[in-house]
Structure 1
């Protein structure tokens, strides 16, 4: 089944504007025509009343001329008590009575529409008046044009013309404005359609005519900036990951090929330990890559209120370290966190400190205002100020720490930074008297009573 092309936004809005304008014009036009029709009907009745006022005194007081002036009505005819035409306007002279109806006994006036009255053409409104005379009841017929509900033809033509003009004008203005408004959107769409992985530096044009479209273009450009940054980061990460994985694989392959070439000269236990060390490194790297992928996907955290001091104490008691650990913990420091993730941050910071410390590692937890601060400091060589942000890049090893014998996958600090960000916190390197000092700051949690590290 073929998909039918959807109508454009501009076409739908233009048609909607035209229909709305037409409906409004029809409504207003009908009201105007009803008003005009009532006005013409009232005017016709005024003319009939004027004719009655002119002729009745002539009937009662005399003399009644046989030919009456027409005035503002179509025709006038007077019948005496015997039903004989006594007077009329020129067009009815010598003719028969134009009508035979009269008002009933309770009224002196009756009105009917005759098509046509005798001696005249077309449908007209005839009003019959009873005039009481000594010799009997005389009849006065006054003929006026029949007034349609819309008034006059001129009123109808005016309303139709004005409605068409207003509808056409509003439709044209709507089409013009929508075309002008949609032009930047079409430009944005065209630019987005041309962006590929090879030219992620392209940006959509920012129009300044409409605030909403300007904000849309700026948002799209911001999204493209983030996309370019993420793609560049992913490409660099992929290259680094392939390099990091290739190195242990190459080392293991070399050991195995050398053992196969010289089986009798090979120290098999030593070779096996070397291969296992490479496997361990591969396993740690794969696990860290999986952790980073989950953090990048912003998987949900299992937050629970936790006393960070108790969590640090439990983690330090669980593990053994080659360097001396100095604890400086507050009595209580409560945070709302994922315990396993924060424990991973502590372990990564302790592993990094142990690789670079000379003899001692200091772990402290304190409360500073609305934040809980955990610091891990070592007494090693430290990190230059210009390189303190670089250590959080993935697969980054500073020149003083490139020796692989120190261990590590180059992802521990990057993972720790991502976990801190996921908790609305920060992880930075701050100044210290000696060595490096990594500081984790997390939002403090108020309800700290009865909270255990678990």
Structure 2
């Protein structure tokens, strides 16, 4: 299901959120450790200063104890002006001064971290306190406490690690469950799509109740499936109608030939040949229309030229006489850019349609209208009801009245005409008229350069 080394989305999202949580925990741990260490250092410094001032108080009152007390494990030494240890806690008895630094002249106290102080085997924070006006000069009181490590306390570090691991675990579980719940509708959509086949396009994917992007996805998929279902239904209807319309002339020709073979002496062979030829002509018309529709559907292009609509109408009317008179009103200079053969085929289809339904007359008009070239074909037949004006542009569609009167049409002429108009950036519609059917073609008007 997954190509290469791609991870599932749940694993990637879990890894991403856990990485973010780990980074957050690390930053928070550093801040917590830093804050707690500063507090501990401040507390221990204050405690050391308090011990050093207690010894200074004893020295100033002449009541310096020997050995000195060692509260809280703080190491204390009193060093005279000549650098000799005058008093110390028992742990430093007989040892040299732990430090040699002194506070600056303008201050009485200074602290440093020594690793280690002399006579000691560990790092300590050493505080130097100056005692003024002592015998021989200023004396120094050194008080040292264990240095606070960067991690402050192993217990604290272990606690922070445990909290971080617990948060990472909760984040991983929460992310995995959230992704699972989020992707559950997507999985349902995928499973339903996997089961839909060409023979079962009426099914739809489930739409989640939540109003989010996944709901929009499901609605879009359903809309696409609906369009696909409609297209497949139209294709099946088209195939069925095409098969029926192709079979009809073939069956008619076959019946005529079989009857002639059964009764050869009674058959008028020239008449029978003409009837078979009529069936073949109808078959050829249907095949030609089908090929034209296939070319239009495939977007096949033909040479583009400047076409004069008035000349196009005149040439078509001169080419073949019509069953009913055709009157024209042709404005000159109405030109369009297009494929001459297809535009001629469009006009032929409109004229053939009008001729089949006209009672006594067909009118053809060419004019301009707001930078648009207009070609109008009007017959005086029964017309097309408003509710059927779009239906006639569907393939193999014939109205009931047309089926009774019209055996010559293929049901593809008007669909081909509209699709040709649309391919030229125009429209073909049935519009209102006092009597009969009025088909109006509108194309972008083209003005040749230099005019």
Report if TM-score (shorter chain) is over 0.5. Answer: yes
Q: Distance in 2 between matches of 1:110 and 1:290?
A: 100
- 1:409 matched residue in structure 2: 410
Q: Aligned residue for 1:142?
A: 143
**How far 1:341 sits from its partner (Å)?**
4.2
Change (3 A) 1:142 1:209: same
Paired with 1:233 and 1:49, the residues of 2 have a C-alpha distance of: 96
1:92 aligns with 2:87: no
Q: CA offsets per residue over residues 7-41 of structure 1, 9 Å max, x none?
A: 32222212211112212221232233234334433
Q: What's the offset of the Cα at 1:197?
A: 3.1
Counterparts in 2 of 1:270 and 1:404: CA distance versus 1, 3 Å = farther
* 1:192-203 to 2 correspondences below 5 Å: 192-203=193-204
Distance in 1, matches of 2:411 and 2:339, equals 23
CA distance in 2, matches of 1:313, 1:212: 54
Contact 1:203/1:221, CA 8 A, preserved across alignment: yes
Tell me the residue number matched to 1:33.
Answer: 33
- What TM-score does the superposition give when structure 1 sets the normalisation length? 0.80
8 Å Cα contact 1:306/1:452 also seen in 2:
no
1:345 aligns to what? 346
Structure scoring higher RCO (CA < 8 A, sep ≥ 6) equals 1
Once structures 1 and 2 are overlaid, which stretch shifts more, 23-32 or 10-19?
23-32
> For 1:31 and 1:57, how far apart are their aligned partners in 2?
39
Q: What secondary structure is seen at the aligned counterpart in 1 of 2:440? A: strand
For 2:180 and 2:303, locate their aligned partners in 1 and report how far apart those are by CA, in whole Å.
51
1:153 & 1:336 partners in 2: Cα distance?
A: 87
- Paired residues of 1:288 and 1:412 also in contact (CA < 8 A): yes
Aligned match of 1:251: 252
> Are 2:233 and 1:236 equivalent residues in the alignment?
no
How far apart are residue 414 of structure 1 and its match?
1.6
Q: CA deviation at 1:214?
A: 1.3
Do the aligned partners of residues 451 and 316 (structure 1) sit closer, same or farther apart at CA in structure 2, a change above 3 Å counting? Answer: farther
* Deviation at residue 260 of structure 1 after TM alignment: 6.2
Paired residue for 2:101? 103
Check conservation: 1:341, 1:419, Cα contact below 8 A. Answer: yes
Question: In 2, Cα distance between the equivalents of 1:211 and 1:258?
Answer: 70
Question: Could you tell which deviates more after superposition, 394-403 or 215-224?
Answer: 394-403
Inter-partner Cα distance in structure 2 for 1:151 and 1:360: 107
Question: For the residues of structure 1 that align with 2:165 and 2:232, how far apart are their CA atoms?
Answer: 56
Partner of residue 449, structure 1: 447
**In the superposition, relative to structure 1, how do residues 270 and 99 fare at CA in structure 2: closer, same or farther (>3 Å)?**
farther
Q: Pick closer, same or farther for the CA change 1:371–1:197 going to 2, 3 Å.
A: same
1:290-329 to 2 correspondences below 5 Å? 290-297=291-298, 299=299, 309-310=309-310, 312-313=312-313, 316=316, 319-322=319-322, 323-329=324-330
Distance 1:15 1:98, change over 3 A: farther
Question: Contact 2:84/2:97 (CA < 8 Å) preserved in 1?
Answer: no
Deviations 1:207-266 (A, max 9, x none): 131421111111111111111111111111111111111122233334555666677776
**Alpha-carbon contact 2:304-2:340 (below 8 Å) kept:** yes
- Rounded to whole Å, the distance in 1 between the matches of 2:45 and 2:429 is 95
**Aligned equivalents of 1:302, 1:102: Cα separation in 2:** 103
* Shift in alpha-carbon separation, 1:377–1:19, aligned structure 2, 3 A: same
Q: Distance in 1 between matches of 2:46 and 2:335?
A: 93
Within-5 A mapping of 1:17-28: 17-28=17-28
How far apart are the structure 2 equivalents of 1:57 and 1:222?
91
What's the CA shift for 1:280?
3.4
Query: Once structures 1 and 2 are overlaid, which stretch shifts more, 304-313 or 237-246?
Result: 304-313
Q: Does residue 66 of structure 2 align to residue 66 of structure 1?
A: yes
Q: CA distance change for structure 1 residues 141 and 385 in 2, over 3 Å: closer, same or farther?
A: closer
For the Cα contact (< 8 Å) 2:127–2:143, is it kept in 1? yes
Deviations 1:80-111 (A, max 9, x none): 4566543334x537x33275441289888573
Q: Distance in 2 between matches of 1:97 and 1:164?
A: 48
Partner of 1:227: 228
| Residues 332, 63 of structure 1: alpha-carbon distance in 2 compared, 3 angstrom cutoff | farther
Per-residue CA distance 1:20-69 (angstroms, 9 max, x = gap): 22122212322332343344334433444444444345445633222445
Mapped to 2, the partners of 1:101 and 1:270 lie a distance apart of: 136
Partners in 2 of 1:308 and 1:165 — Cα distance? 82
Runs of at least 5 residues in structure 1 that lack an aligned partner in the other structure: none
